[in-house]
Amino acid sequence: MTMPSHSPVPAAAPAPTASLRRSPFGTAPGGDAVGCWTLDSGAGVRAEVLDYGATLRALSVPDAAGRAGDVVLGLPSLADYTAEHPYLGAVVGRYANRIAHGRFTLDGREHQVPVNDRGHALHGGPDGFHRRVWRAAPADDNGPASAALRLTLHSPDGDMGFPGALDVEVVYRLTPAGTLSIDYRARSDRATHVNLTNHAYFNLAGAGSGDVLGHTLRLHAAGYLPVTAQAVPLGPVEPTAGTAFDFGRPRAIGERIGEPDRQLTDAGGYDHCWVLDAADPAGQPRPAARLSDPGSGRCLEVWTTEPGIQVYTGNALDGSLAGPAGRPYTRHGAVCLETQHYPDAPNRPGYPATVLRPGAFYRSRTEFRFPHLGAPSTAAAAADGSSAASRAGGPEAGPPDPSSPPEPRSLG
């Protein structure tokens, strides 16, 4: 009797293995060695993060046809980062966005911080966190399941005029599914204001490939903050419905950017904070934005625990900066999707609070997902295999977790 033959069952493909490695990137003006850390998903997505400014220098993502391309604007050398540049990929703080006239009153005491943007304080001042060398090391959970880099910084009492000694931790994490998350955490020994974000510039067609006016954008927001000619909020939240600021349904960034609206003409495009839909009750990240490039097929989703998102369309890019490949960054050559609390909140009692008091932790989480790669795109998968923020809402997030060890202080 002849037994039937059976074809051998093909072996399952090995699961992608994430990895983290460091390479030298030069020496900062103060003498500190700066490293460039490469986070590799093991499945085609790679991120580069610098010790200097905790900067996201590169993010290589395959397009719909599998061709890799860098989708964030970066610079060739450390010298380019230590020179003046528009915060490309940096973590900005102690207070992201603007504080009117650089002044605020906290617990009855007035504080003055340096003004560096048309008479107002922007992104923590001229020597903010984007100009510091952070202490970097693999995070405790770094391994094959996710490449994770932990950066810490100590900001002394009075730094850039802000009260309180502040210890900051930022963790970049890249999973095999291709999700890049950024977790922020901070604590202070005195009451202070904290508002942190990452200032990455995205062009899904590839850095230096031209403008992003043809990119399609959707925002999960029904309101935004109109601003003065100096980009300081006028006050109340305004509805977006029927205006050039209505991205409730996907549409091209350039569709209405040229309208004769002072909100657009003063800024030369979009540079505004949208008020995101209600936070997740459990404090998990929820959808904030979806950006798509029809040409490459790439799609980016931004999920966050923050109440707002500043959308900036690279209005001041003028071709004077170029990337590692030599391609110039021209006007509207990228869009920033900066998750954060609202600008000038220290002077606006009606805005979500940014006060951080002793004994409390500031916590925030933002995720960048690429659903065209098959990464999760549902709320149930918000954490994408890694721990989510323990609380949403920023500084007033409650008492510290007694099981969490204190962060070491950096010499940054």
Instruction: Evaluate whether residue 390 is within a structural domain.
Output: no
pLDDT for res 16: 84
Largest interatomic CA distance in the chain: 96
Whole-structure pTM value: 0.90
Instruction: Evaluate whether residue 263 is within a structural domain.
Output: yes
Please say whether the beta carbons of 64 and 36 come within 8 A. Answer: no
**Residue of 405 and 193 predicted with greater confidence:** 193
Q: Is the pLDDT score of 59 beyond 70?
A: yes
Instruction: Evaluate whether residue 165 is within a structural domain.
Output: yes
User: 82-96, 214-228, 398-412: which range is least confident on average?
Assistant: 398-412
Instruction: Evaluate whether residue 221 is within a structural domain.
Output: yes
Q: Is the pLDDT score of 406 beyond 50?
A: no
Q: Is the pLDDT score of 318 beyond 70?
A: yes
pLDDT for res 382: 39
pLDDT digits (tens, 9 = 90+) for 231-253: 999 999 999 999 999 999 999 99
Mean pLDDT of 209-232: 98
SS3 letters across the chain: CCCCCCCCCCCCCCCCCCEEEEEEEEECCCCCEEEEEEEECCCCCEEEEECECCEEEEEEEECCCCCEEECECCCCCHHHHHCCCCCCCCEECCECCEEHHHEEEECCEEEECCCCECCEEECCCCCCHHHCECEEEECCCCECCEEEEEEEEEECCCHHHCCCCEEEEEEEEECCCCCEEEEEEEEECCCEECECEECCEECCCCCCCCCCCCCEEEECEEEEECECCCCCECCCCEECCCCCCCCCCCEEHHHCCCCCCHHHHCCCCCEEEEEECCCCCCCCCEEEEEEECCCCCCEEEEEECCCEEEEECCCCCCCCCECCCCCECCCCCCEEEEEECCCCHHHCCCCCCCEECCCCCEEEEEEEECHHHCCCCCHHHCCCCCCCCCCCCECCCCCCCCCCCCCCCCCC
List residues forming the annotated binding site: 97-98, 199-201, 271
d(CA 126, CA 166): 18
Instruction: Evaluate whether residue 184 is within a structural domain.
Output: yes
Instruction: Evaluate whether residue 126 is within a structural domain.
Output: yes
**What domain range is 41 assigned to?**
19-381
pLDDT digits (tens, 9 = 90+) for 131-147: 999 999 999 989 889 99
Phi, psi of 82, deg, nearest 5: -75, -20
Residues with active-site annotation: 199, 338
pLDDT digits (tens, 9 = 90+) for 68-112: 999 999 999 999 999 999 999 999 999 999 999 999 999 999 999
Please say whether the beta carbons of 48 and 56 come within 8 A. Answer: yes
d(CA 399, CA 186): 12
d(CA 408, CA 411): 10
Please say whether the beta carbons of 224 and 272 come within 8 A. Answer: yes
Mean pLDDT of 281-299: 97
List residues forming the annotated binding site for beta-D-galactose: 97-98, 199-201, 271
Instruction: Evaluate whether residue 401 is within a structural domain.
Output: no
**Confidence tier at 44 by pLDDT (50, 70, 90):** very high
pLDDT for res 71: 99
Instruction: Evaluate whether residue 302 is within a structural domain.
Output: yes
* Residue 99 in tokens: 């504080």
- Domain at 359, CATH number: 2.70.98.10
d(CA 257, CA 312): 12
pLDDT for res 85: 96
d(CA 90, CA 69): 20
